[in-house]
Amino acid sequence: MEKTKIMWLAIFAFSIALGIASILYLAHNIGKYGLLIALAAAVVCVLIFDITNTIVIVIHFTVFLLLGDLVSLVVKAASHKDIFRASAVVSAVLCVIYLVIGWILMHGLWETDYLVGTHKEVGGLKIAQIADSHVGCGFSGKGFGSRLEKIAASNPDILVITGDFVDDSTKKQDMIDACKELGKFRTKYGIYFCFGNHDRGYYSDERRGYGGDELVAELEKNGVVVLEDESVLIDGRFYVIGRADAGYGASNRKSIADLIAPLDKNKYMIVLDHQPTDYEAEEAAGVDLVLSGHTHGGQLWPLEFVQPLISENDNVRGLESRGNTDFIVTDGISDWAVKFKTGCRSEFNLIKVSQVRY
């Protein structure tokens, strides 16, 4: 996990440096872009967003203005016309449109469909998958219920939650409310949960008013099956295998080979593993389907393409097949800290397992 720590330190350092550079650039060009516009934008950012999202907005604004300046320089060199002020206005408008779309993509919810096959004679199954709700960040505990209603309309056989159901900052009441909403959700084979790196919390239990054990108690009270290095056989055909998170308490995490050793390999094996970092071992073990979250699909363009270069994640988003094992990483149903998604969208996956290998 050392590479992951280095990745986050690098992202934070780079973001802060880029934010400072953006502010300096805007200050240097304040006369050209208009002092009142800049002050108004700064006030809006501070009033509506926290410092993280303010930095995101400032960086995007600066990038769009720089692109506008580049176009202006090309036009001036080609035709000797000065369009710098007009390009600044157009760039600002385009940036606002871009971020509004990013806001919508984060706060909405879309269904992403996958079809995976198997040679095993186990029939079919329709799986709904969510991850990274970070309840309280993008929506409240009760607001989670409206998302579940949309998922229920797809009529899945089973719902799986692949980690980061709550966040370090999730209030206790929001956690309880979200668990109650899960208690209203009805499927043929139930709801299954594995831990993510935020579910037990990185800080003291007192900070948010509850710990991992209390989260488990609330989930189980509402009919959710919590699996931490455990498995359960469904309908005599499918195993759901929930792994302990690769980050939190990883020293005690069982290997996938040990987890499936006592299982009937003729059954279809579905692995819930929050962080997509163990593909090689999971393929070698011969499991059929691995469902993950954690990456948020990169969230902001172009991080989808940067993450594989600087993180331990084997995949950032979507479906990948290795041998007879299918791996799916969801973009997540919400956000963590950033209120925009410009490289993906908030989603739940609907995965249909068919008795045909594609």
Q: How many CA atoms lie within 13 A of 33 on its CB side?
A: 24
Q: What pLDDT is attached to residue 73?
A: 86
Specify the range with the lowest mean pLDDT, choosing from 172-176, 268-272, 334-338, 354-358: 354-358
Pair (243, 331) in one structural domain: yes
Pair (95, 144) in one structural domain: no
CA-closest candidate to residue 323, choices 288, 275, 272, 271: 288
Q: What is the largest CA-CA distance in the chain?
A: 76
Pair (72, 173) in one structural domain: no
Q: What pLDDT is attached to residue 226?
A: 98
Q: For residue 36, is pLDDT > 50?
A: no
Pair (125, 28) in one structural domain: no
Q: What pLDDT is attached to residue 277?
A: 94
Pair (228, 214) in one structural domain: yes
Distance CA 123, CA 293 (A): 26
User: Average pLDDT for residues 303-328, to the nearest whole number?
Assistant: 89
pLDDT in tens, 116-129: 999 998 999 999 99
Cβ neighbours of residue 81 under 8 Å, at least 6 residues apart? Answer: 75
- Of 92 and 47, the structure prediction assigns the larger pLDDT to 92
Residue 317's domain spans which residues? Answer: 109-354
Pair (117, 256) in one structural domain: yes
Q: What pLDDT is attached to residue 114?
A: 98
Conformation bin of residue 201: beta by default, left when phi > 0, alpha when psi is -120 to 50? left
Distance CA 345, CA 270 (A): 25
Pair (93, 118) in one structural domain: no
**Would strands 347-354 and 125-130 be described as parallel, antiparallel, or unpaired?**
antiparallel
Pair (81, 216) in one structural domain: no
Q: For residue 239, is pLDDT > 70?
A: yes
- Of 45 and 160, the structure prediction assigns the larger pLDDT to 160
Buried b (16+ CB within 10 A) or exposed e, 249-274: eeeebeebeebbeeeeeebbbbbbbb
Q: Where a domain ends, among 76, 106, 136?
A: 106
pLDDT in tens, 258-296: 999 999 999 999 999 999 999 999 999 999 999 999 999
Pair (113, 102) in one structural domain: no
CA-closest candidate to residue 179, choices 204, 207, 199: 199
Radius of gyration of the CA atoms of the chain, in A: 23
Conformation bin of residue 225: beta by default, left when phi > 0, alpha when psi is -120 to 50? beta
Please report, for the domain that includes residue 162, its CATH number: 3.60.21.10
DSSP H or E segment with residue 232: strand 230-234
CA 51 to chain centre: 20
pTM value is 0.89
Tell me how long the chain is.
358
Pair (54, 134) in one structural domain: no
Pair (151, 290) in one structural domain: yes
pLDDT band at 250 (very low <50, low <70, confident <90, very high): low
Pair (297, 181) in one structural domain: yes
